[in-house]
Amino acid sequence: MRDLEKVGVVGCGLMGAGIAEVSARAGAEVVVVESDAAAVEAGRARLRRSLARAEAKGKIDSADDAMARIRLVTSLDELADRELVIEAIVEDEAVKADLFQMLDKVVESPDAILASNTSSIPIMKLGVVTSRPQQVVGMHFFNPVPVLQLVEIAPSLLTSSETTRRAREFVEGLLGKQAIDCQDRAGFVVNALLVPFILSAIRMLESGFATAEDIDRGLVLGAAHPQGPLALADLIGLDTTAAVADSLYAEFKEPLFAAPPLLARMVDAGLLGRKSGRGFYTYE
């Protein structure tokens, strides 16, 4: 067995399920932890749907074979033998830090890597709550994970070069994706550029300068973007967009990084985009 083929994933939402899927499709043995039995069944259904689509499109030979390499559980103790554990839970620093403390106690191998899919919370803050900060690294995948090829690798000041090398080998060697190196700064590369752009589009809508449809159509037809910034925010999730904005503002104190009032009100109202059925657009 190659290095890092015993993979754990914490969380089976859109990102966690995607990470579990691409790992299983690449031949890894995957254990996914969710909060309760209902979340496990929802995650299982999400995985089955995505794998069935991949099989129908000829991207994999057998959805059943890939699914057989994924085990969904409700206990972190099931991650004891993992070589790599990737956290993909809510973008909340305190919640993530608590999880990393628990993972540090549960994962037995002294060589195991603990990774976070965050792009907005400093990896250093997650590493220092463990006894092995040299083995904590950021591995930021992009949604939808089975489709988008990029993964941002973000070591903290304490992450060892060997951990970074192994993380890159997992991404490029096993998963067949492409990795870029990032400093441990809020937003890494992509979201540090993308989220302020999305916030500008929200401010344009908020001011009445243009409609959501015209803003998005303008960027699609005038700048060759595959989708407009407001539709993209709905896909990312408005809560996630706001969380990244908050982290960017906290780190850099740049006013344009602050979440616009409209975005904050929509999050408060539960209008989170595609995941809730309504954001800047309404979804069936």
pLDDT tens-digit readout, 138-191:
999 998 999 999 999 999 999 999 999 999 999 999 999 999 999 999 999 999
d(CA 106, CA 31): 14
Tokens (6 digits) for 210: 């243009």
d(CA 26, CA 233): 29
Structural domains in the chain plus CATH codes: 6-181 (3.40.50.720), 190-275 (1.10.1040.10)
Q: How many residues does the chain have?
A: 284
**Catalytic site residue from 83, 117, 152, 247:** 152
**Catalytic site residue from 83, 87, 140, 156:** 140
**Catalytic site residue from 116, 119, 120, 247:** 119
Question: Looking at residue 228, what is its pLDDT?
Answer: 98
254 in catalytic set:
no
Chain segment 79-130, per-residue pLDDT in tens: 999 999 999 999 899 999 999 999 999 999 999 999 999 988 999 999 999 9
Q: How confident is the model at residue 1 (pLDDT cuts 50, 70, 90)?
A: low
109 in catalytic set:
no
Tokens (6 digits) for 2: 């190659």
Q: How confident is the model at residue 2 (pLDDT cuts 50, 70, 90)?
A: confident
DSSP string covering 141-210, please? E-SSTTT--EEEEEE-TTS-HHHHHHHHHIIIIIS--EEEE--SSTTTTHHHHHHHHHHHHHHHHHTTSS
225 in catalytic set:
no
**Catalytic site residue from 23, 50, 191, 247:** 191
pTM of the model: 0.92
Q: How many CB atoms lie within 10 A of CB 199?
A: 24
What kind and span of H or E run contains 136? strand 136-141
